[in-house]
A and B are shown apart, each in its own frame.
Chain A
Amino acid sequence: MVVRPKDGILDPQGDAVQRSLRKLGFDVSAARVGRVIDLELEAEDEGGAHEAIERMCADLLANPLIESFEIQIDGS
């Protein structure tokens, strides 16, 4: 899953990254810094895994005030 600062939330880290990239000559108009969390878990199906991860996000992995998240599931 990917956790990132919500749209409209000031991201000073992203701004610093953008400024540094520009200093290196890259034409970058915006940068946002989030985090990737890889989880391994057992679930009945993809829907069950999705539901479990949603709950993990609500309880710990993301702060809904300032962060949004995306869940990506690779079943095997």
Chain B
Amino acid sequence: MSDRPHVAVVVFPGSNDDRDAAGALEAMGAESELVWHDESELPSGTGAVVLPGGFSYGDYLRTGAMASLAPAMDAVRRFANRGGPVLGICNGFQILCESRLLPGVLRPNRQLEFVSRDVRIHVENADTVFTRLCTAGQRLVIPIKHGEGAWYAGEETFVQLAARNQIVLRYEEDVNGSLGNVAGVINERGNVMGLMPHPEHAVDPLLGSADGGLLLEALVDAAAQHSLART
């Protein structure tokens, strides 16, 4: 096993950003490993988990609902309960919400249209393992591409999350009807985060932005820390 931090990327039937995520993480210095959804354990030495974008199980029933019941998700739950860093991107965010590892739910975009473009997002909380390479208030340019990205939670939950700084990223403008323009949230413990924008598609200035690299590089650091803490 190489001494590079190991990041597991869980692949569900219908995932389609798994390879982009794996490649971007490798570019950030990680050793990434694709893990099929019916595996009941994560590879030993896993330091962080990424749930990638896509349309797992064809978005049947509700986005992320079927994937939340996959055997690999039981392993991800155990990993998260031990404090392991988990990042859900787009469909991965939807899966984390349906798994109740993150608060809220992702609903169809208010305009009922699929949105695919670069958006500006604000870092609301730079004091998390995922955003610590950013500064509070920093503006990032990262693409979104989703039909069901309108995050919603009850009023009480929303107020509570904002008070606890769990709203980590917000869109600069209303792009999909998301409550409070929320683009990314984190759990109370601070080790599970989900976001609709795709940092793995923004890791090279040639592609328009390298801002996503800030989030992924922080994740790779977190993977190294987590592995170290467990040895």
| Interface, chain A (partner B; CB < 8 A) | 9-10, 12-13, 16, 60-61, 63, 65-66
Contacts and interface: CB of A to CB of B under 8 A. Distances in A.
A12 B110 CA distance: 6
Contacts of A66: 105, 107, 152
A59 to B, nearest CB: 8
A27 B178 CA distance: 30
A10 B179 CA distance: 11
Contacts, number: 29
Given A10-B177, A12-B177, A63 B112 contact: no
A10 B154 contact: no
Contacts of A13: 108, 112
B109 A65 contact: no
Contact of B111 (A12, A61, A63): A12
B175 interface: no
A60 B152 contact: no
B112 A60 contact: no
A65 B61 contact: no
B132 interface: no
Contacts of A10: 107, 110, 177
A14 to B, nearest CB: 11
B112 A65 contact: no
A35 to B, nearest CB: 8
A2 B56 CA distance: 24
B153 A60 contact: no
A12 B62 contact: no
Given A63-B105, A65-B104, A16 B154 contact: no
